A and B are shown apart, each in its own frame.
Chain A
Amino acid sequence: MKPGQFTYHAPRSADEAVAMLAALSPQEGRVIAGGQSLVPAMALRLAMPAHLVDISGVAELARLAVEGDELVIGAAVTHSRFETSAVAGPLGRLLAGVARHIGHYPIRTRGTFCGSIANADPASEWCVVAACLGATMVARSARGTRRVAAADFFQGMLATALASDELLIEVRLPRLAAAARWGFYEFSRRPGDFAVAMALATYQLADGVIAAPRIAVGGVEDRPRRIAAAEAAIVGASPSAALLQAAADAAARAVAPIDEKAETVNYKRDVTRAAVRRALAAAAIAEDQRA
């Protein structure tokens, strides 16, 4: 349980970090932010980087700010920063509601939002949030800066669109409308464990009918994604128990669960159904009427 040897680098700025990655990524160099997934992998010798570029001390990357209609989350922003509302309105409350499902408190004080996105674990809560809300990932390398949409970013289990010399410098989340409804539900065997399945749903009510629904599922397939069939089942209709059940059934049919854990595919479908139904049921209760 001892990590392998590596050379440690502590850049002072984002530019310096990117320059280091350009030089070191061909030599098995990689970024460490909070290290709450990477260090266990190193302890188990599943990861043996030759160089670590530690961005946790880069002050400019700890920025968490609203720019226009987006919340901009810097690469060194920890999970715990979201536990109290990071931004006014439903988005801040959504992020606070989701954050407490991530690992445990001493993990959240170190682990980072962008680190979770770049790690792309299928059971990552933030990856579901990014997929659901349509986040924009900003990747910077010595070659330049580019933006990648969530739908193109997640490419499989622990696989993303990031090149090895790119730093995920920030993630931009669109703010939700003031009247947006949201609900999140996660099932895991014990609090803090990896999710068996989770769902995040947002929509707006316009004249009593559902508009702009977004429903995403995580922990089930090799990457989180929006489930179009479930969204189609509720758009333009009035919320009712039967409607939510129809959307949940549609999601359960639409997913293709990975069967690499102990759970069977059918069990994963069942938990997906329950997660989507419960996320939608939570969204149906206006925030000011929740317990």
Chain B
Amino acid sequence: MSGEIDINLNVNGRNHAVRVEPRRTLVDTLREQCGLTGTNAGCEHGVCGACTVLLDGEPVRACLMFAVQAQGRRLRTIEGLAEGDKLHPLQQAFIDHHGLQCGFCTPGFLMLAAGVLERRPDINDDDLREVLSSNLCRCTGYKNILKAVRAAADQMRGAKT
């Protein structure tokens, strides 16, 4: 069907029953049907990474998949990162280390970093730099983002032991 179809999306542990055209991208669906506008739509063709979300724990570009493809998968977006009023260590570290200025790329960077650190808490610096080069930041620059992610990684490792 190229008309609208009913799908269920599991976002941050909550079910969202939405009606979408198959051509509706995941990022547009999150923002406009689910009302989760924390995920930003930037370039809309996979270059900038502003729309990065976690799909079954792995970072993906939400502009490069269709919402219909996310049925039956677990999605996490920036809205699911903090626990109530308690910021995720990555969010606090971005504040502490001035990892953002305009903030447009920030949700994407946070989800990218969260996905990577959960899988590879001991990621080395070279690999971390390579991973962070996935997303574009055009005002803060990468130094403070790298600093913030490193600091959060240290803290997250410490919290586990």
- Where the two chains meet, the residues of A that have a C-beta atom closer than 8 Å to any C-beta of B are 1-8, 10, 35-36, 39-40, 42-44, 50, 52, 54, 56-57, 80, 100, 104-107, 109-110, 190-192
Task: Tell yes or no: B124 within 8 A of A by CB.
Answer: no
> CB within 8 A of B46: which of A10, A52, A105, A107?
A107
Output the nearest chain A residue to B28 by Cβ-Cβ distance. A2
> Would you list the 8 A-B pairs with minimal beta carbon distance, nearest first?
A104-B134, A8-B22, A1-B44, A40-B45, A106-B59, A109-B58, A43-B45, A39-B64
CB-CB under 8 A from B65, the residues of chain A are 35, 39, 110
Q: Which residues in window 18-63 of B have CB below 8 A to A?
A: 21-23, 25, 28, 43-46, 49, 52, 55, 58-61, 63
Are A107 and B61 touching (Cβ within 8 A)? Answer: yes
Q: Which residues in window 110-138 of B have CB below 8 A to A?
A: 112, 116, 130-131, 133-135
CB-CB under 8 A from B45, the residues of chain A are 1, 39-40, 43-44
Are B46 and A40 touching (Cβ within 8 A)? Answer: yes
Task: Tell yes or no: B142 within 8 A of A by CB.
Answer: no
Task: Tell yes or no: B104 within 8 A of A by CB.
Answer: no
CB-CB under 8 A from B21, the residues of chain A are 5
Interface centre among A42, A105, A107, by most chain B C-beta atoms within 10 angstroms, is A105
Output the nearest chain B residue to A5 by Cβ-Cβ distance. B2
Are B23 and A56 touching (Cβ within 8 A)? Answer: no
CB-CB under 8 A from B60, the residues of chain A are 106, 109-110
5 further A-B contacts with Cβ under 8 Å, apart from A106-B58, A109-B55, A109-B58, are A1-B44, A35-B66, A36-B61, A104-B133, A192-B133
- 13 A-B pairs (CB sep. < 8 Å): A1-B43, A2-B25, A5-B2, A5-B23, A10-B68, A35-B65, A39-B63, A39-B65, A100-B130, A104-B134, A106-B61, A110-B64, A190-B133
CB distance from B66 to the nearest CB of A (A): 7
A109 to B1, CA, bound (A): 28
> CB within 8 A of B49: which of A3, A6, A43, A106?
A106
Task: Tell yes or no: B69 within 8 A of A by CB.
Answer: yes
Output the nearest chain B residue to A191 by Cβ-Cβ distance. B133
A164 to B112, CA, bound (A): 36
CB-CB under 8 A from A191, the residues of chain B are 130, 133
Are B22 and A6 touching (Cβ within 8 A)? Answer: yes
A108 to B16, CA, bound (A): 27
Are B64 and A35 touching (Cβ within 8 A)? Answer: yes
A33 to B49, CA, bound (A): 20
CB distance from B55 to the nearest CB of A (A): 8
CB-CB under 8 A from B22, the residues of chain A are 5-8, 52
Are A7 and B2 touching (Cβ within 8 A)? Answer: yes
CB-CB under 8 A from A104, the residues of chain B are 49, 131, 133-135
A110 to B69, CA, bound (A): 11
CB-CB under 8 A from A190, the residues of chain B are 133
A106 to B109, CA, bound (A): 11
A54 to B37, CA, bound (A): 27
A106 to B60, CA, bound (A): 5
Are B23 and A40 touching (Cβ within 8 A)? Answer: no
Are A36 and B58 touching (Cβ within 8 A)? Answer: no
A3 to B65, CA, bound (A): 11
CB distance from A34 to the nearest CB of B (A): 8
CB-CB under 8 A from A40, the residues of chain B are 45-46, 64
CB-CB under 8 A from A6, the residues of chain B are 2, 22-23
